[in-house]
Structure 1
Amino acid sequence: MNTPLPNIRHLGVPALEEYFESIGDKKFRVKQVHEWLWQKHAHSFDDMTNLSKDLRAKLAGSFSLPALKTDTTQFSDDGTVKSRFKTFDGHFIEGVLIPTDERKTACVSSQIGCSLSCKFCATGYMDRKRNLTYDEIYDQVVLINQQSEKTYDRKLTNIVFMGMGEPLMNYNNVLKAIERISAEDGLFMSPKRITVSTAGVAKQIKMLGDDKVRFKLALSLHAANDAKRDTIMPINEHNNIKVLIEALNYFYKQTGNEITLEYILFKNLNDSEKDAEELTRIYRQVPADLVNIIEYNPIDAFRFAKPDEDAIQNFMGILEANKVNARLRRSRGKDIDAACGQLANKNK
């Protein structure tokens, strides 16, 4: 059985220096290769055109460069762009470019599938195959940034980890990807323009605080009491609302970073006046800057529906009367299954 070649992007500078020394080449090659990998975004050794053919052949014989590839792309009537990306081992993930006049946002995935089984999320009905590596996450952002430049003549302004998978269940790769994205020799995007969304893994939320991360955090709450949250988010059985409130306060105390609460409205489940009052009480216990009220986007496997417009406006009115900083987030990309909760690698 052949041993897989080491991924060159997983090697540090010292290891690359040692490699070039072992083949009798100069150390400055490390800088050239590093630039191709992280700034010029080479997807093969043949792309590294300022290296000799002989050196490119040696690199290809010593290392692998398993880059993400764009498989299919769909364009929504509202300008949203959804892409399906193929990994080196034949799996598929999806990422979305969400354009507005002020922002160009990449919604990226962190896992192939998901193990949390949230009832309203199409990805939750898929098996989790594996975590994405940090370089695969980085590739996603690079490819969506290239789409933004091509389609809208503007680079990405923001990144949200709200695609397929639970980011905090792939903790190390997500943090390392953000480190690369925000590095001067990477995409050089400020961490303050990056939001990581979690279904609520309290232990890892606290770990983010201990690691003094600089990006924003969003909690997918979606119900304001444990009984209702249990029915739609199995993770709540071990990460209940009280535990999450404690974790969010710890995170804020350690970092001072912005926190958002995400709340999808489901007809006759969590859209009543009582639900709005319960959400207000949670808001007052958490140092949240914002509550995002999200329109429900139907998926085949989930039985609930979007409330009618009067119910939505009534819910928003109660929050406003209670001085909750809430924003209604309208769906984008529904016609191509690119909206919140709809990513599922459907073949079109």
Structure 2
Amino acid sequence: MDSEKVNLLDFDRAAMTAWFEARGEKAFRAQQLLKWIHQQGVDDFDAMTNLSKTLRETLKAVAEVRGLKVVADQKSPDGTRKWLFELADHNRIESVYIPEPERATLCISSQVGCALNCSFCSTAQQGFNRNLTTGEIIGQLWMAGRLLAQSGVRPVSNVVFMGMGEPLLNFDNVIRAIELLQDDFAYALSKRRVTLSTAGVVPALERLAEVSDVSLALSLHAPEDALRDELVPLNRKYPIREVLRACKRYVGEGRRRVTIEYVMLDGVNDSDADARALAKLLRTVPSKVNLIPFNPFPRARYRRSGVSRIDRFRDILHNSGIVTITRKTRGDDIDAACGQLAGDFKDRTRRRERLAVQVIGGTT
């Protein structure tokens, strides 16, 4: 593929329309091309038979549909599938396909690594390199669609921005990807079938409310600021109550709820007192709680809460009137479970280097 050519996966409908109009083509050509690329999974312009031969030749000269290179394709007995994709600059990211009886979810990445340094997350401990482009974000779904079609399994019905990175720190590219996910000429997913998970970047969350209506998940993990400062360092800038106010404004006064993600860490955030404090905190927040058993990774300093402890925590929340479920761990045998995605990239933050020094020095 020619890196000098424009990658059409980078374009939402507005950008595609402007691109065609700048070349003297009718706006409806954008709709035709979007359907070929995203609904049919076609990257060969010669196969796009409702485009004129002249236009197809023009497209071949200046544009391409640049997918991602599959480096590894791992499958778990539970049906979970994890892909390691290589980007043009040789950085690598991961995406996970999770089939269930009523849906099939693709967990996609928005950054190469993550800048937030949450202490319980393998991705964060790998450091950070850069934001993904729109084409690299949507390319994960485009590639998954082609690969799943070859396997004859359930196609993707839901997309969650819960892979590598903080989506709201890559705002513009993520929004363009969301536009494609919801576009009737692309993937036509409803707002309930697209979920963005954030650690709580408040200014960007407020911007999101102005341009999008996708489902929202908050990576909370603690009922009070001192503990969350340790688990989610972003909390030092945007404390819990400020983040929850922004979440309430986002979901509004209707029937919508924000999903509260809460990883269960043995002896850290899983006590009865923690459960009662969380229930009190969420009393006025339209929400449901998703308890996530901690998934271990190399050099992790935490352990997973026991099943009985998780059940007790869930029951306290239930008895306080808060809808609570425990997420079933999927794909942990291939390191595809929540918090385990790592990829392969150059860490611009030198976080991995510092962690290695700590381990050698015996300070962890």
TM range (shorter): 0.7 to 0.9
Shift of 1:237: 0.4
Q: Does residue 23 of structure 2 align to residue 19 of structure 1?
A: yes
With the length of structure 1 as denominator, give the TM-score of the two structures: 0.88
Q: Is the 8 A contact 2:7 2:135 kept in 1?
A: no
* Aligned AA (1:117): N
Query: Once structures 1 and 2 are overlaid, which stretch shifts more, 60-69 or 127-136?
Result: 60-69
The one-character-per-residue Cα deviations of 1:53-98 (angstroms, maximum 9, x if unpaired) are 8865643433354322322110012110001112222221111111
Alpha carbons 2:17, 2:28 under 8 Å: kept: no
User: Quick one: distance in 2 between partners of 1:171 and 1:254?
Assistant: 25
- Name which of 303, 306, 328 aligns with 1:308: 306
Residue in 1 that maps onto 2:356: none
Instruction: State the partner residue of 1:103.
Output: 103
Q: 1:305 to 1:183 in 2, by over 3 A?
A: same
Q: State whether structure 2 residue 272 is matched by structure 1 residue 270.
A: no
Q: Distance in 1 between matches of 2:143 and 2:322?
A: 37
AA at the equivalent of 1:333: G
Contact 1:217 1:257 survives alignment (8 Å)? no
Unaligned runs of 5+ in 2: 346-364
CA-CA distance at 1:175 after TM superposition: 1.6
Q: The residue matched to 1:12 in structure 2 has which SS? A: helix
**Bigger mean CA offset, 147-156 vs 102-111:** 147-156
Alignment correspondent of 1:280: 279
One-letter code of the match for 2:319? Answer: A
CA contact (8 A) 1:113 1:164 kept: yes
Per the alignment, residue 158 of structure 2 pairs with: 158
Match of 1:319 in 2: 317
C-alpha spacing 1:258/1:145, structure 2 compared with 1 (3 Å):
farther
SS in 2 for 1:129: strand
Letter in 2 for 1:285: T
TM-score, with length taken from structure 2: 0.84
Once the two structures are overlaid, the 10-residue window that deviates more, 268-277 or 248-257, is 248-257
Give the AA of the match of 1:344. A
Aligned-residue RMSD, C-alpha? 2.7
Which residue of 2 is the match for residue 219 of structure 1? Answer: 218
- In structure 2, the residue matched to 1:299 is 297
Q: Which amino acid counterpart does residue 298 of structure 2 have in structure 1?
A: D
3-state SS, counterpart of residue 70 of structure 2:
strand
Equivalent residue for 1:137?
A: 137
Work out which of the residue numbers 326, 329, 337 in structure 2 matches 1:328: 326
Q: 1:50 to 1:301 in 2, by over 3 A?
A: farther
Gaps of 5+ in 1: none
**Displacement, 1:233?**
0.9
Task: Indicate the structure whose relative CO is greater, using CA pairs within 8 Å and at least 6 residues apart.
Answer: 2
**Shift in CA distance, 86/100, structure 1 to aligned 2, threshold 3 Å:** same
Aligned counterparts of 2:341 and 2:124: Cα–Cα separation in 1? 10
Letter of the 1:15 counterpart: W
Asked if the contact 2:16/2:30 (under 8 Å) is kept, the reply is: no
Partners of 1:96 and 1:275 in 2: CA distance: 31
What is the number of residues matched between the two proteins? 340
